[in-house]
Structure formats: C-alpha cells, structure tokens
A and B are shown apart, each in its own frame.
Chain A
Amino acid sequence: MIETVRDLLDNYWVLTPVKVLAVLAIFLTFPLVVGYMEHKVMAHMQARLGPMEAGRFHGVLQLVADGIKFVQKESIIPRAADKWVFALAPAVALIPAILVFGFIPYGPNLVPIPSDVGLFVTLALSSVSVIGVLMAAWSSANKYSLMGGIRAAAQLIAYELPLVLAAAAVAMQAGSADLAVIVERQGWWGYIVGPLVVGFFVYGTAALAELTRPPFDMPVADSELVFGHLTEYTGLRFAFFLLTEYAGIVSQSAIAATLFLGGWKGPFLDGPWWLAAKVLLLSFGVIWARSTYPRLREDQLQSFAWIRLVPLSLALLLVVGFLKVYEVGV
C-alpha cells in the first residue's frame, strides 16, 4: 500500500499538485495562526483579553470572521489611480510571499522545491514584495501612499544589506547556499550557539525592518502617513496586503529558524513539528517586540541600519571567514 502511494508520488504530474496544495495549506494556516496569536498576545501584554467571541472559545475564529468581513467590503479604486497597477499590486506582493514557502526545508528530504541556491532565492523573493508595495504606493495617486512607499523602498534597501550579509555568514559557515544542506550541517542547537548569535540578532532586526513590523513600521506610520501604501486599499485587496504581512512574518521566521536554530532538527524526534515550534516562537518574538517598543524615527531607522548593522554584519562575516579558514570550532 505504502509502496503504491510512493510510486504514485514519484510521478511528476502527481507530486507537483500535492506539493502545491501542501504549500498553499501551510500558507493559508500559519499566517492565520500567527495573526490570531498577535491578537491574543498583544492584548494580554496590554492587560486586555483580545477577541473573545468569534468561534466561541476565546475568539479562535476571529481572523476567519475578519476575512469574511473583508470579502463583503466594497472594493474601491480611486478615480485618479492607475487602475491596472493598483489592482495588480496586492498580487505582486502576495505571490512571492507564497513562493518563499516552497523553498523551506520542512524535514529530512522534505523540500517542496529543492534548490542549491535556496537561501538566495528565498531572500530575493521576500524582497520582491516591496515591488508590490511600491506599485501600490505609486498607483494610489495619494501623497501619503507615495511617501509610505518610498519609505518602504528606502527601508528595504537599507536593511537588505545586513540581512544578506548575516545570511552570507551562515552560508559561509555551512559551506553551502542550499537550505537543506545548511540545516543538515547544524546540530539541533543550531548556529545560534557560537559567534553566529550576532548574525541571528542582525538577521532578526533586519527582517523586522524588511517586514515593516514595529518598531520599524515607518512606512505605515499612522500618525504621519495615515496607513502608507495601504491608505487607498479596501476589501479583499487590503486583506491580501495584510495576508502578505503575516505570511512574511511566518516565512522570515522559517528562514531564520532554518539558518540559525537548526530548522526541523530537534532534541528528540526530528521533523516538521520542530520547525513549526521554532516558527511560532520567533513569531512570538516579532509580536513581543511590537507590543514593547515604540516606533523609531525615520532618520534613526536609517542611521541604525547603515552605522550599526552594516558594519556589525561585515565584521561578523570577517570573523566567520577567519574561523572557517583556520578551522576553529567547526
């Protein structure tokens, strides 16, 4: 029986839809779980209860209810907007966010799209989302949207550098850019035990900024820019942007877990559950930072990236290179 299923799955035309469905299932569940977690964790950190009604038990279906609400909303396109670009922008932001999930190693030999440059593909894909943001900002014909989009682009450029440098340090340590290989070269404790803990810090901070999550959410600073590039969006398109944001949290957490925390490896039984646990833990960290820190000023954000993080990650790369060459602690 198992043999038959395995033979069937060897067929490309059977395996591919299965993979697509699996990735879509992950894409549609985990961001909702993280979104619900954000509601509840942030509420409790503010001595509130958060959603309590939808779904009877502690508001578990709150995000489903939100989704139904968004579907019902009127989809408004401003008269002066560049209609095609405006309509396309959410898709441009959303699709790369889905694709990232295809390159994550979920377990031993469990990579939907095996690639020997998986690390760079995922980083590149997660940066494409900002194109969607820029499209939305420009096509909205709204000064707040445009300012928000430009901030998002500037932020991406500033933080992409330390992000890639930190990831490069990991790739150098592992000797490969294949995410599956990177996981296999780590112990279950991951690269975080060692000098790469600095890399983890740099990567985490830069990822927060790339996701425009608080305290780095200047592109959507409501006191200055209404809601940045999302100002003119309503209904389902707005929901897609929100979904992109939460999918981004999950995918960035997954990449960080893969690079620094040992991916699917764990102390007892290796498997996808370890990755899921680590993703949720890192997502909790993202939410924790959001409910703790106030928003940075735009210039502080830029100087923090260029003056602190970039030199730090360059130094890290240097140190990891030296250790690698002289084979210390490998």
Chain B
Amino acid sequence: MPALKGVGLIKGLGVTLKTMTRPAATRQYPHVRPNLPARTRGVIALIEENCTVCMLCSRECPDWCIYIDSHKEQVAPKEGGRARTRNLLDRFAIDFALCMYCGICVEVCPFDALHWSPEFEYAEHQVERLTHEMDTLRKWAYTVPAPDPLEVGAVEPKELESARKAREAAAAKAAAAAEQARTAAAPAPAAPAPAASPAVGTAPVPGAGGAAPAPPVAAAPAAARPADVEVEPGIDQATYDRLLAAGEPDRTARAKAKAAYMRRAKAEARAAQAAGGAGAAPAPAPPAPGSVETPAAAVAAPETTPAAPSAAGTPEAAEAAPDAREPEARSPEGEPTAAGTAVDVAPGAAVAQADAEHLEIEVDQETYDRLIAAGEPERTARAKAKAAYARKLRAAQRGGGSGGLKPSPPEGEAS
C-alpha cells in the first residue's frame, strides 16, 4: 500500500510527461529508409548463370512457388567424343504471393544460384504481378551483399586455392623465363628449347596460362613464355577406345583420353617451336576454330594478343589470334537474335557459338580479363563481369548516352 493515497495518480502523470519529452518510436518509413541489417531476408534473388536446372529448389519448396522451364541442347561433339546434352534455363520464376520466405530454396541450392537479397519494396496491386521472372530475380541478385571475409586461419576455399596455385606457378615460370631471356643471347630463337623442362603434366590450366603477368623484360615478349603452349583441347580417340574396352567408366575414359591428347599435342607444339618456329604453320593438330570448349580459352586469348602484337612470329600467338578474333567477328549477326532473350537462342545452335554470344552480349570483357588475371575462378569472374556490364548498362541508360559501353549492345536490347 502506498504511503499516501493518490500518489499513483501523480506518478502516472509523470510517466506520460516523461514519455512526451523523449523521441517517439515511430519510423517515418517512406520518407526515411529503414536501417535494416545487411543480410535482411527481403526477397530471393537468382544468379541465373549459376543455375544448372537441377530443380532441387523447386522440389524442396514447401509452397511449390518456384517455376522452372528449361530445354536440353546438344553440345557439339568433341573430336572423337560423343555429343553431350546440357540444360538451358528458359524460365525461372518465383511467385512471392505463395512464397513464405522459409529460405529452403536458398539453403538447398548446390550452385549458389539463389540468394537472399535485402530488397523488400516489391509490393504490387495485383496478386499475379507478384510472380517475378528471371530478369527481376537477376536484378535483385546485384543487391546481395558479398560474403563475409573468412576468419583468420580458416581453410582456404578450394577454388581460391587452385587459382592461387596456378597464379604462383605462372609467376614462377615467368620469372624463370625472364631469367633465361636475360642470360640467353639475344638472337637466339632457339632459346625457348630448354624451357621444355617444366613437366608437361604440371602445365597450368588454359585459363590461368594466359594470366601470367607481363614479363619484366619488354624487349623479348615472345621469348619470355616459351613453355606456355596453347593447344586446342581434344580427345585422344585411341586412348578413349582402349580405356572403354578395358571397362573404365565413360567419364574416366574421356578424362584420361583428353589428358593423353593434351600431353601429345603440347609436346608436338613444343617440338615445332624448337624446330625453328618459322611460325607459318600452327602445326600441332589445328582444330576447327569454332570448337572451343571452354569459354575461358576464348577469353584468355585476347589478353595474350596485346602482349605480342607482332605475333605472327610465334605459333602461340598465331594460334591464339583466331580464337580471339572469333567471337568479335561473329558478334554482328549474333547480337540481334540473342539480344532480347538470351535463353531463346535457336536450339540447334552450337554450344560454342552460344557461349561466345553469351560472353559477347552479357559480360564486361575488361572486368572479366582483369578478374581472370587476378586469379579468380572462371565462374566468379564471369558473374562479376556480368554484374559490371549490367551496372554500366544501367549507368549508360541513366546518363542518356551509351558512352562507356564497350560491347555496345543497347541497340540490340532496344529492338
């Protein structure tokens, strides 16, 4: 019992008066943006180039609110290989009227194609309009914050580790080559011969091979990288058949056959180089220029060209040049078809072509090259380059001019 009756009444007045003098709890939302945590689970974003149409998200979704359409495409057969099929994503839509934001799809995605984006202002007046298609989902992906840095002492992620090792190997090789170039006599085109010593098996990935930093001695760029032979990937049919006959699974057999082919091809290339390297004939098994399998090779190539502008002398450059020119040469007629919906490419088209167009249209080449050179994995580089491209495109649209857009697809986009 209070000491004096009615004290509570006075206290009550004190409480309201005190509350009045303190700042209100109200947030002026439309005028003042809410200060949300960086990883707010606002909406689900899609990085479509990571999607392999595995359908896991769609099947795990408790609401079944993810719609995926895809089609299969024949990949042009390798030399000696079989035609393969792969899935191309046609439609990826999430019905946010059904979605209950459980995030299971994000959890379950094995390829990091789905992410939580902090974007939250996508209310609509009609329920149907809450079904968001791939383009919107992709735009949201640009708002996804970058992953946190690893803790000190954490195990290095596999892809970063391999990239780093490749980079280090390339750097070491370049250093060694520079050393040789300095010691060797200037008029010696035969100088590259000793460079065959690096074991063939440890040859770096084709993508990382082009990533070697520019040699310190600018005088002899061609001689600086003798071991850096570029060979078109292919399959050694004999090995493949033999291994298959021996009962190896197809995948193993193919991999080993490929390795065998590469070993042989590189050895031949080096032999040709050592034999005088007149450069007229890129002797070692010149395959059809269109059958580039990995886009990495096609992208890495342009970087080598500026390093050796008078490249006709070296077989390496001669080999790289057609590849480098290839996508650009093809782009003019490739653009209009692929501009509107990149996925709706004629289904019969060769995958290589599709890849080239894909890169040409959607990826910011400078960024891509830079990132590859920095040792990023190919997939990361492509995603980031694509993001950079989209940023530039948006900036250009906002600025009203198409300045700063190198691969200039806005015309195609507009049509």
Residue positions of A touching B, CB distance < 8 A: 41, 43-49, 52, 288-289, 291-293
Judge whether B26 is part of the interface by a CB distance below 8 angstroms: yes
11 residue pairs A–B, Cβ–Cβ below 8 Å: A44-B20, A45-B17, A45-B20, A47-B22, A47-B25, A48-B24, A49-B24, A52-B28, A288-B13, A288-B16, A292-B16
Output the nearest chain A residue to B18 by Cβ-Cβ distance.
A45
Contact in complex: A45, B19 (CB < 8 Å): yes
Contact in complex: A48, B26 (CB < 8 Å): yes
With A and B bound together, what is the CA distance between A293 and B9 in angstroms?
Answer: 8
Judge whether B15 is part of the interface by a CB distance below 8 angstroms: yes
With A and B bound together, what is the CA distance between A293 and B16 in angstroms?
Answer: 10
With A and B bound together, what is the CA distance between A110 and B26 in angstroms?
Answer: 44
With A and B bound together, what is the CA distance between A47 and B16 in angstroms?
Answer: 9
Contact in complex: B24, A43 (CB < 8 Å): yes
Interfacial chain A residues near B24, Cβ < 8 Å: 43-44, 47-49
Contact in complex: A46, B19 (CB < 8 Å): yes
Contact in complex: B26, A292 (CB < 8 Å): no
With A and B bound together, what is the CA distance between A48 and B24 in angstroms?
Answer: 5
With A and B bound together, what is the CA distance between A49 and B19 in angstroms?
Answer: 12
With A and B bound together, what is the CA distance between A289 and B12 in angstroms?
Answer: 9
In chain B, positions 1-22 with a C-beta closer than 8 Å to chain A are 9, 12-13, 15-17, 19-20, 22
With A and B bound together, what is the CA distance between A46 and B16 in angstroms?
Answer: 7
With A and B bound together, what is the CA distance between A288 and B16 in angstroms?
Answer: 8
Q: Which of A43, A44, A289, A292 contacts B15 (CB 8 A)?
A: A292
Residue positions of B touching A, CB distance < 8 A: 9, 12-13, 15-17, 19-20, 22, 24-26, 28
Interfacial chain B residues near A45, Cβ < 8 Å: 16-17, 19-20
Q: Which of B12, B13, B20 contacts A41 (CB 8 A)?
A: B20
Distance in angstroms from B20 CB to nearest chain A CB is 4
Distance in angstroms from B257 CB to nearest chain A CB is 73
Interfacial chain B residues near A48, Cβ < 8 Å: 24-26
Q: Which of A41, A46, A52, A292 has the most CB of B within 10 A?
A: A292
Interfacial chain B residues near A52, Cβ < 8 Å: 28
Number of inter-chain CB pairs below 8 Å: 33
Interfacial chain B residues near A43, Cβ < 8 Å: 24
Beyond contacts A47-B22, A293-B12: 12 other A-B pairs, Cβ-Cβ < 8 A, are A43-B24, A45-B19, A46-B19, A47-B26, A48-B25, A49-B28, A52-B28, A288-B16, A288-B17, A289-B13, A292-B12, A292-B15
Closest 6 CB pairs of A and B: A49-B26, A45-B16, A44-B20, A292-B16, A47-B25, A45-B20
Distance in angstroms from A100 CB to nearest chain B CB is 28
With A and B bound together, what is the CA distance between A52 and B27 in angstroms?
Answer: 11
Distance in angstroms from B221 CB to nearest chain A CB is 68
With A and B bound together, what is the CA distance between A85 and B11 in angstroms?
Answer: 45
With A and B bound together, what is the CA distance between A43 and B24 in angstroms?
Answer: 8
With A and B bound together, what is the CA distance between A293 and B6 in angstroms?
Answer: 12
Interfacial chain A residues near B17, Cβ < 8 Å: 45, 288
Distance in angstroms from B251 CB to nearest chain A CB is 66
Contact in complex: B19, A292 (CB < 8 Å): no
Output the nearest chain B residue to A40 by Cβ-Cβ distance.
B20
Q: Which of B17, B20, B22, B28 has the most CB of A within 10 A?
A: B20
With A and B bound together, what is the CA distance between A203 and B26 in angstroms?
Answer: 37
With A and B bound together, what is the CA distance between A291 and B19 in angstroms?
Answer: 11
With A and B bound together, what is the CA distance between A41 and B15 in angstroms?
Answer: 13
With A and B bound together, what is the CA distance between A41 and B17 in angstroms?
Answer: 9
With A and B bound together, what is the CA distance between A13 and B15 in angstroms?
Answer: 53
Output the nearest chain A residue to B31 by Cβ-Cβ distance.
A52
Distance in angstroms from B44 CB to nearest chain A CB is 33
Contact in complex: A292, B25 (CB < 8 Å): no
With A and B bound together, what is the CA distance between A41 and B13 in angstroms?
Answer: 13
Output the nearest chain B residue to A290 by Cβ-Cβ distance.
B16
Distance in angstroms from B358 CB to nearest chain A CB is 49
Interfacial chain A residues near B9, Cβ < 8 Å: 293
Distance in angstroms from A291 CB to nearest chain B CB is 5
Distance in angstroms from A182 CB to nearest chain B CB is 29
Distance in angstroms from B27 CB to nearest chain A CB is 9
Interfacial chain B residues near A293, Cβ < 8 Å: 9, 12
With A and B bound together, what is the CA distance between A52 and B13 in angstroms?
Answer: 25
Q: Which of B13, B16, B22 has the most CB of A within 10 A?
A: B16
With A and B bound together, what is the CA distance between A44 and B17 in angstroms?
Answer: 9
With A and B bound together, what is the CA distance between A49 and B20 in angstroms?
Answer: 10
With A and B bound together, what is the CA distance between A289 and B16 in angstroms?
Answer: 9
Interfacial chain B residues near A288, Cβ < 8 Å: 13, 16-17
With A and B bound together, what is the CA distance between A30 and B19 in angstroms?
Answer: 26
Distance in angstroms from A36 CB to nearest chain B CB is 15
With A and B bound together, what is the CA distance between A269 and B24 in angstroms?
Answer: 36
Output the nearest chain B residue to A289 by Cβ-Cβ distance.
B13
Output the nearest chain A residue to B21 by Cβ-Cβ distance.
A44
Output the nearest chain B residue to A43 by Cβ-Cβ distance.
B24
Distance in angstroms from A128 CB to nearest chain B CB is 31
Distance in angstroms from A16 CB to nearest chain B CB is 43
With A and B bound together, what is the CA distance between A109 and B15 in angstroms?
Answer: 42
Interfacial chain B residues near A41, Cβ < 8 Å: 20
With A and B bound together, what is the CA distance between A49 and B15 in angstroms?
Answer: 17
Output the nearest chain A residue to B27 by Cβ-Cβ distance.
A49
Distance in angstroms from B213 CB to nearest chain A CB is 59
With A and B bound together, what is the CA distance between A297 and B19 in angstroms?
Answer: 26
Output the nearest chain A residue to B11 by Cβ-Cβ distance.
A292
Output the nearest chain A residue to B26 by Cβ-Cβ distance.
A49
With A and B bound together, what is the CA distance between A44 and B22 in angstroms?
Answer: 8
With A and B bound together, what is the CA distance between A43 and B22 in angstroms?
Answer: 12
A44 and B19 in contact, given A49-B24, A52-B28 (Cβ under 8 angstroms): yes
Interfacial chain A residues near B28, Cβ < 8 Å: 49, 52
Output the nearest chain A residue to B28 by Cβ-Cβ distance.
A52
Distance in angstroms from A40 CB to nearest chain B CB is 9
Output the nearest chain A residue to B22 by Cβ-Cβ distance.
A47
Interfacial chain B residues near A49, Cβ < 8 Å: 24, 26, 28
With A and B bound together, what is the CA distance between A284 and B132 in angstroms?
Answer: 52
Distance in angstroms from B240 CB to nearest chain A CB is 74
Interfacial chain A residues near B13, Cβ < 8 Å: 288-289, 292
Interfacial chain A residues near B19, Cβ < 8 Å: 44-47
Distance in angstroms from A158 CB to nearest chain B CB is 20
Distance in angstroms from A302 CB to nearest chain B CB is 19
Distance in angstroms from B255 CB to nearest chain A CB is 67
With A and B bound together, what is the CA distance between A49 and B24 in angstroms?
Answer: 6
Interfacial chain B residues near A291, Cβ < 8 Å: 16
Interfacial chain A residues near B15, Cβ < 8 Å: 292
